[in-house]
A and B are shown apart, each in its own frame.
Chain A
């Protein structure tokens, strides 16, 4: 006969309430981890979408995401001439804030050369950009519909295609447009004084309107990204990094702090969970002192009594965790940022919860083992 189960059955309401409380706590822990995973996934989508092998940027910068990078628009032709380069494309990246339907909308504008690397990889609705003017492909998260008009700066763009899950490392949805449009937009949005200078062709680095943030290149099958990047680094004013280096930079610069923050929170929450479960188990044991004394009196071995406490703690942990996981799974799409629930994270947290519950029942077990069987007699 399983005493833990029978006791729970007898106090079902209270037990479920406790589990529900615990599930909220564990749900928060799980969503923390999910948010962190989402952060990493978001940070990497933009870098991974073009499926590039090397990124050519301004010398001594870690651009175009972690630091700003500006290079002349004709860099792409030089890159194309590199040995092993199969395709190359110029890209621009900029954050733009606009108002849509009387609501503030922050988007991340990606300009790319049509039919070259840098555009959206997968369009879920509508079509890709066909003409080089005033068309945009936007991410679903902008909440824009096909055929709507999006006003950016002083231009109107027609929404002709939708992507899914394309966001900047800051979580802003991506808007794809032709490179020319994006360059004009960059100019249009620049502070007026700077704009005047650029128009006069008087910028210090002699750049004109034809500036891009990076050139990305795809290599032939047997070409080495390291060698190609090394070659570019010898060029004046140019820097280069491989896809892997670019991803590492993003993870370091964008995600590292968040990782520490969230790691810290998760640790604190797990400690809080341990304390709370300990207290719950301890009070549950306190409430059962007389029953435990009776069990000892009628000859139940310690194993039975420890089993009663530990099994209840585990049941609480498992049910709380399951409810918490279900809660987050069913609400994750309503979070403002992407929440990515990975099975292995869930598994790890599940194991952590089990360990926490076993640790937490220690206090109750200690109390139970100290109970004097004479307590059961009284009088």
Chain B
């Protein structure tokens, strides 16, 4: 793809992750090498239990790998068996946007506030945060539901609000775990087109776990995970 000559936004090599000890040990990720560049939308495919979510968690600095090397946006964040950044949460706030299979919106905030919260957390003042949040909802065509609480939104609306939230701080890396699972195929297509637009316009790298064969054609790359091992 383009930009291959610049540094990748996600660069991991030799990443391992196991759960448990001894006989019950599960090798969720084995010696994973993966690069994702700005503007790329890549899919992560694999049977259940193959380690897809675990891989997203590791890239999102939510779970600590067991050895390997990882750099995000040019910064080495994990090497020699330890994190090199002390404040992983601030790193997430700044660089990473998450989209989950289930929207994970905060139930006690309306759509608009769910989005403006991350902007406020990033230090924007209230008015600016709300303004930008509203723009994002408009961009995702859910602005008419800005005052609704998550419980009152349809699956597709909630997912679009969640995407708006993931995009709010202009993250360089967007990690999506089955973002279209709760949507019909038409909506799924729209969401994927939208992610592609974001990747191109904002020069972001998007890594999405999916089972959805209908949208395979919308990815630049498809990686297959099987028993914790990756092949292209």
Binding site for B on A (CB under 8 A): 1, 3, 6-7, 9-11, 290-291, 294-301, 304, 372-374, 376-379
- Report yes or no: A300 in contact with B62, Cβ–Cβ below 8 A: no
Which single member of B62, B90, B101, B113 contacts A297 (CB below 8 Å)? B62
Q: Is the CB of A291 within 8 A of B107?
A: yes
Interface residues of B in 12-68 (CB under 8 A from A): 53, 56-57, 60, 62-63
Q: Which of B56, B94, B101, B120 contacts A1 (CB 8 A)?
A: B120
Chain B nearest Cβ from A204, distance in angstroms: 82
8 contacts between A and B (CB under 8 A): A1-B126, A3-B108, A297-B92, A299-B90, A299-B96, A300-B121, A301-B90, A377-B57
Q: Which B residues are CB-close (under 8 A) to A1?
A: 109, 113, 116-117, 120, 126
What residue of chain B has the Cβ atom nearest to residue A376's Cβ? B104
Q: Which residues of B contact A (CB under 8 A)?
A: 53, 56-57, 60, 62-63, 89-94, 96, 98, 100-102, 104-109, 113, 116-118, 120-122, 126, 149, 165, 177-178
Do A377 and B89 form a contact, CB below 8 Å, given A6-B109, A291-B107, A298-B165? no
Give the dominant DSSP class at A's interface.
Answer: helix
CB distance from A315 to the nearest CB of B (A): 14
Instruction: Give chain B nearest CB distance to A284 CB in angstroms.
Output: 12
- Taking CB atoms, residues of chain B closer than 8 Å to A297 are 60, 62, 92, 98, 104
* CA–CA, A304 and B123, complex, Å: 13
Q: Are B53 and A377 in contact (CB under 8 A)?
A: yes
Number of A-B residue pairs at CB separation under 8 A: 82
Given contacts A1-B113, A1-B117, A377-B62, contact A300 B89 (CB under 8 A): yes
Which of B57, B92, B96, B126 interacts with A374 by CB under 8 Å?
B57
B107 touches A10 (CB 8 A): yes
CA distance A348 to B173 in the complex (A): 53
Whether B121 contacts A290 by the Cβ 8 Å rule is no
Give CA–CA (A291, B104) in the complex, Å. 8
Q: Which residue of A lies closest to B52 (CB)?
A: A379
Rounded to whole Å, the gap between the CB of B27 and the closest CB of chain A is 18
Besides A301-B121, A377-B98, 17 new A-B residue pairs in contact (Cβ under 8 A), listed by A number:
A1-B126, A3-B108, A6-B109, A9-B108, A10-B108, A290-B104, A294-B104, A299-B89, A299-B90, A299-B91, A299-B93, A299-B118, A373-B62, A374-B62, A376-B100, A377-B62, A379-B102
| Closest Cβ–Cβ distance, residue B94 to chain A (whole Å) | 7
The interface residues of chain B lying within 8 Å CB-to-CB of A377 are 53, 56-57, 62, 98, 100-101, 104, 177
- Residue pair A294, B106 in contact (C-beta under 8 Å): yes
